[in-house]
């Protein structure tokens, strides 16, 4: 099925070819900004700019927000500074802050200087917080109520704030100093009697985060408690801003892409760019570093082989089982890493569980190794009719599986402890790490057991 | 930082030890169902049941919804049938349907028979749709308006439906046959003049999905268009139900876990269970199948080695580069697979792009291979001072990288074409697949170029 931007494409081309700019403008205005962004994303830079200039300001701002990083940079570069600042000023402040911080950091200062003073100041407040933190995602455009307001007064306040507020689904009850006292939803509000007092009907158990909280953690809280917006408060529980659920969904989608890329050993620098629009050379740069590092680690495995070359030459059959043994080690390790990364992501597993995890994975590796060693040992015996060799293969599998399982759980846990995203412990990395150690284990066991032959 | 259920644990233990059941009941009622579920999840089965019985019906139903599959089964098994049916009847119908379909499929019929007739009928309608489809996620408890209603009448309808409707954020305008005519948000509604007519202020461009649409696709639509609920319509645009954003978030979190586990070659059967609560033997079963399959594939690599054993014996140095060559192939393949899986997931890449993808990855593999071959070739020359061998290693790297890149893009694309989740093409699978072919490529090139030696 064609996606909306694919259906839009031929009609836009037609309007451009016919020079019917009014029809083109109408066509774009009739579509969702996300679809217009998808369409522009696939145009060459010249046509992209031409079509972008045709959009009215509100649509143009939304498109800027939805489109990938390269296109955002490109479009902002081509606009006069004041126009660019104006468009950014039309966006929700968290979205504008994100563009300034991540897409055009080198123009951040000039663009802020060209914006209206209060808007620039608001965005600057967000930019003080670390990237990927709650502070970066929040907006200050929420609706604040007071405890002593009646439902009628509160509803009037909601209406008054309508043009400004990013969401009115959740309304925040603050004292004079801006401290959070409670929350009431619009749904609850419209069901109150007109004279009911807000303070009597608000929820005082408010789930909140702090501005420094990592965005993945924020997403976890929203997922856990099924809420439409989460307030960000300082240490004294003063309300600094709120994060709306649409931003949380974007975080989840982004983190999902990032995890898969990292786990496949690809730098996730271009995570918001569609596949075909990332310049090939940048893709290769994002991949080359890891490949090179892993290749260096692989030469270690080669060095182990070199070390044991006389043993391998004496019993040439030994080498036939190398792929099976190091392959199984790598696969077992990759399985464990993926289990632990997932556990850490959904906050099931913490570094403090280290010993419990290690005990569990040690036992698991041992049992998996036992089961696999029966298969591999039998296979070896059937192939080479050499009971000693079969024994070496079987025992090696047990030790290697246990070792890989332990390493596969230890490394991501240590990474999380050091504040590194555990998903950088990729499947290729763990495979490569256990390759050389697995080989060493195998050939050492062979040396111990095949004393007659070597 | 201790999570809420960790803070709750000692206080609950204390109350149980002191036999103060009233205090315990209050303590639990003061916490969010998700936290109570986390707490119960970590209790043994007997205590879990005892504490669960103490919850009031509404909290108990929500806890049942939040807790993992094993605990849900366990708790429902211990309840009298009528009590179990009553609790399920209190849940939103999509959540009840999910429990019946996924957690206790064998008791589905008896539980439905024990429920109130209209509730059971509603849930049965959802259960007709395939698992992981929009039909399973939707609720029929939305607010429907008519075009000719005034704002005042519409608001009265919203209030009337408050006890039943799952969300009132978005209100759906239907004709007499239930066909979708438009949508208006509660936010828009409360800003209308009392006598304004709904039909004049609704949005007629409504984004919707069909009941058969896959849940990942639904999540993508919600993410793309920043909406709080998405309507599910049949072919004639009759409204069947709506899916709320909290269910979409759950889908995203679940799919994220599933992708990471699958990409690490772990069956994702226990994806909603906390790490420590999945019985170890089930974990091992979820892992053993893949390990065994991959091990069998690894013996193929062993067979290739066996085939070329005379060549390896003649030039023993050849074997030292095997880990580097097949490792690099596997790593390159894993990178490509992760890039393609991500592209397919966010619907950037489709099967129809096959040739464009293959061209891009072919070129990418060639360039990566060229860069890596310089490093590996130099390394080989420095190590063994054998120019011919260095040439074999360098050329092999180029061919293997290109080959892995092509396979790494082709296989997930084919999987998606066949309706298989491309994330089952795991990093271990692609590594294993390119191991034997990479070895074959290497030793064949060696045979062609090292004619003097062999």
Task: Give A312's pLDDT tier (boundaries 50, 70, 90).
Answer: confident
Of all residues in chain B, the percent with pLDDT exceeding 70 is 98
pLDDT in tens, A31-70: 888 888 888 888 888 888 888 988 888 899 999 888 888 8
- DSSP alpha helices (H): ranges in A99-244? 108-114, 117-127, 134-137, 151-160, 186-190, 198-201, 215-225
- A26 inside 8 A of chain B by CB: no
Residues 191-210 of A with CB under 8 A from B: 191, 205, 207
Weakest mean pLDDT among B222-231, B349-358, B421-430: B421-430
Kindly report the nearest CA distance between residue B110 and chain A, in angstroms: 30
With respect to residue B246, please indicate whether it lies within any of the assigned structural domains: yes
Same domain as B236, residue B374: no
- The residue of chain A nearest to residue B287, with distances taken between CA atoms, is A335
B306 is a domain residue:
yes
pLDDT on residue A259: 86
Give the domain range for residue B245: 144-251
Q: Tell me which of A303-312, A363-372, B82-91, B390-399 is least confident.
A: A303-312
Q: Which of A181-195, A209-223, A269-283, B432-446 has the least mean pLDDT?
A: A269-283
Contact yes or no for B427 and A334 at CB 8 A: yes
Query: Is there a domain that residue B267 lies in?
Result: no
pLDDT score at B452: 58
- The CATH number that applies at residue B234 is 3.10.580.10
**CA–CA min distance A46, chain B (Å):** 22
pLDDT of residue A16: 83
pLDDT at residue B201 greater than cutoff 80: yes
Please indicate whether, in this complex, the C-beta atoms of B287 and A187 are within 8 angstroms of each other.
no
Q: A127 with A173, same domain?
A: no
Long-range contacts of B234-238 (CB under 8 A, 24+ apart): B234/B210, B235/B210, B236/B179, B237/B179, B237/B180, B237/B208, B238/B177, B238/B178, B238/B179, B238/B180
My answer on whether B428 and B323 are in the same domain is yes
Tens digit of each residue's pLDDT (9 = 90 or more) over B229-251: 999 999 999 999 999 999 999 99
By three-state DSSP, how is residue A258 classified? helix
What confidence tier does B451 reach under pLDDT thresholds 50, 70, 90? low
Whether B168 contacts chain A with CB within 8 A? yes
Considering the domain boundaries, does residue B46 fall inside one? yes
Is A314 an interface residue toward B (CB < 8 Å)? no
> What is the per-residue pLDDT for B234?
94
Q: Cβ of A223 and B249 within 8 Å?
A: yes
Regarding an ipTM greater than 0.85, the answer is: no
pLDDT digit string, tens, across residues A388-410? 999 999 999 999 999 999 999 99
- φ and ψ of B192, to 5 deg: -85, 155
Residue-level pLDDT at A451:
66
Q: Tally Cβ neighbours within 10 Å of residue A118.
A: 9
Backbone angles phi, psi at B347, to 5 degrees: 60, 30
Structural domain includes residue B272? no
Looking at residues A136-158, what average pLDDT do you find? 95
Residue A454 has pLDDT above 60, yes or no: no
pLDDT category at A452 given cuts 50, 70, 90 is: low
Instruction: Quickly state the pLDDT bin for A2 (edges 50, 70, 90).
Output: low
Domains contained in chain B, number: 3
DSSP A398-445: HHHHHHHHHHHHHHHHHHHHTT--GGGS-HHHHHHHHHHHHHHHHHHH
Q: Please tell me which of the candidates A292, A364, A431 has its beta carbon nearest to residue B280.
A: A364
B254-259: long-range contacts, CB 8 A cutoff, minimum separation 24: B255/A256, B255/B215, B255/B216, B255/B219, B255/B345, B256/A252, B256/A255, B256/A256, B256/A259, B256/A345, B257/A342, B257/A345, B257/A346, B258/B421, B258/B423, B259/A256, B259/A259, B259/A260, B259/B341, B259/B345, B259/B423
Q: Do A335 and B226 touch (CB under 8 A)?
A: no
- Rounded to an integer, the average pLDDT of B13-23 is 84
Q: Average pLDDT for residues B357-372, to the nearest whole number?
A: 94
Based on the fold, state whether residues B436 and B348 are members of the same structural domain.
yes
State whether B429 and B305 are in the same domain: yes
Using a 10 angstrom Cβ sphere, with 0-12 exposed, 13-18 middle and 19 or more buried, the burial of residue A119 is middle
Highest mean pLDDT among A259-263, A377-381, B356-360, B422-426: B356-360
Number of H helices, E strands in chain B: 23, 5
- For residue range B95-125, list pLDDT tens digits in order: 898 899 888 888 889 999 998 888 899 899 8
Distance CA B421, CA B262 (A): 9
Say if the Cβ atoms of A371 and B288 lie within 8 Å.
Answer: yes
Specify whether B44 is located in the same domain as B60: yes
- Does residue A287 belong to any structural domain of this protein? yes
Over range B244-271, report the average pLDDT.
85
Chain A interface, best mutation among B142, B248, B339, B379, by max A CB count within 10 A: B339
pLDDT at A192: 96
**Does B190 share its domain with B157?**
yes
Q: Are residues A150 and A104 in the same domain?
A: no
Instruction: Tell me what the pLDDT averaged over chain B comes to.
Output: 89
What are φ and ψ of residue A381, in 5° steps?
Answer: -65, -45
Taking an 8 Å cut-off on Cβ atoms, the answer to whether B328 and A364 are in contact is no
CATH number, domain at B423?
A: 1.10.357.20
**Distance between CA atoms of residues A183 and A134, nearest Å:** 19
- Of B87, B116, B137, the residue at which a domain comes to its end is B137
Q: Is A288 close to B371, i.e. CB distance below 8 A?
A: yes
Q: Tell whether A372 lies on the interface with B, counting CB pairs under 8 A.
A: yes
A-contacting residues in B 319-338 (Cβ below 8 Å) = 319-324, 326-328, 330-332, 334-338
Residue with tokens 């899986």: B341
Is residue B265 predicted with pLDDT exceeding 90?
no
How far A121 CA sits from the closest chain B CA (Å)?
26
Specify which of B45-59, B162-176, B425-439 reaches the highest per-range mean pLDDT: B162-176
Q: Are residues A107 and A166 in the same domain?
A: no
CB < 8 Å to B284, chain A: 364, 367-368, 371
pLDDT per residue as tens digits for the range A321-378: 888 898 899 999 999 998 998 888 878 888 988 999 999 999 999 999 999 999 999 9
A338 and A323, same domain (yes or no): yes
Find the CATH number of the domain harbouring A11.
1.25.60.10
Residue among A205, A328, A435 minimizing CB distance to B298: A328
Residues 30-89 of A with CB under 8 A from B: 30, 32, 34
Percent of chain B with pLDDT over 90: 39
Which of A227, A302, A434 is most worth mutating to test chain B (most B CB atoms within 10 A of its CB)?
A302
> Same domain, yes or no, for B352 and B387?
yes
Q: Are residues B245 and B368 in the same domain?
A: no
Q: Two tokens at A233?
A: 């408060």
Is B119 a member of any domain? yes
Q: Which of B213, B233, B251 is the last residue of a domain?
A: B251
Chain B: closest CA distance from residue A250 (Å): 7
Whether the predicted pLDDT of B87 surpasses 80: yes
Q: Show which of A246, A265, A293 is a domain's final residue.
A: A246
**Assigned domain for B274 exists:** no
């Amino acid at each position: 099925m064609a996606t909306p931007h694919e259906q839009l494409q031929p009609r836009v081309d037609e309007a451009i070819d016919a020079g019917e700019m009014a029809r083109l403008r109408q066509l774009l205005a009739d579509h969702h900004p996300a679809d217009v962004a998808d369409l522009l994303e696939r145009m060459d830079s010249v046509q992209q700019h031409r079509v972008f200039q045709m959009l009215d300001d509100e649509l143009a701002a939304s498109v800027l927000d939805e489109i990938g990083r390269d296109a955002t940079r490109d479009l902002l570069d081509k606009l006069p500074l004041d126009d660019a600042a104006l468009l950014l000023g039309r966006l929700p402040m968290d979205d504008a802050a994100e563009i300034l911080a991540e897409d055009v950091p080198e123009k951040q200062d000039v663009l802020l200087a060209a914006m209206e003073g209060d808007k620039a100041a608001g965005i600057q407040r967000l930019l003080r917080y670390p990237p990927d933190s709650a502070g970066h995602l929040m907006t200050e455009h929420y609706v604040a109520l007071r405890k002593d307001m009646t439902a009628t007064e509160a509803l009037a306040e909601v209406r008054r704030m309508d043009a400004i507020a990013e969401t009115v689904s959740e309304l925040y009850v603050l004292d004079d100093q801006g401290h959070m006292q409670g929350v009431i939803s619009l749904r609850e509000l419209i069901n109150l009697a007109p004279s009911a007092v807000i303070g009597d009907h608000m929820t005082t158990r408010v789930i909140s985060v702090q501005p420094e909280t990592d965005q993945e953690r924020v997403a976890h809280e929203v997922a856990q408690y099924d809420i439409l917006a989460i307030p960000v408060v300082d240490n004294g529980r003063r309300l600094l801003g709120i994060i709306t659920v649409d931003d949380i969904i974007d975080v989840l989608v982004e983190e999902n892409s990032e995890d898969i890329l990292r786990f496949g050993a690809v730098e996730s620098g271009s995570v918001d760019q569609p596949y075909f629009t990332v310049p090939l050379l940048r893709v290769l740069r994002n991949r080359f570093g890891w490949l090179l590092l892993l290749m260096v680690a692989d030469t270690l495995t080669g060095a182990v082989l070199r070390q044991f070359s006389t043993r391998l030459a004496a019993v040439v059959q030994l080498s036939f089982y190398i792929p099976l043994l190091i392959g199984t080690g790598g696969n077992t390790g990759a399985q464990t890493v993926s289990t632990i990364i997932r556990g850490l992501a959904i906050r099931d597993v913490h570094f403090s569980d280290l010993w419990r995890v290690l005990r569990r994975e040690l036992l698991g590796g041992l049992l998996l190794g036992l089961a696999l060693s029966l298969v591999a040992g039998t296979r070896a015996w059937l192939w080479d009719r050499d009971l000693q060799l079969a024994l070496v293969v079987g025992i090696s599998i047990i030790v290697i599986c246990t070792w890989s399982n332990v390493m596969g759980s230890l490394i991501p846990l240590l990474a999380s402890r050091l504040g590194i995203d555990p998903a950088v412990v990729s499947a290729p990395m763990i495979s490569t790490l256990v390759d050389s150690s697995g080989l060493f284990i195998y050939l050492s066991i062979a040396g111990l057991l095949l004393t007659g032959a070597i």
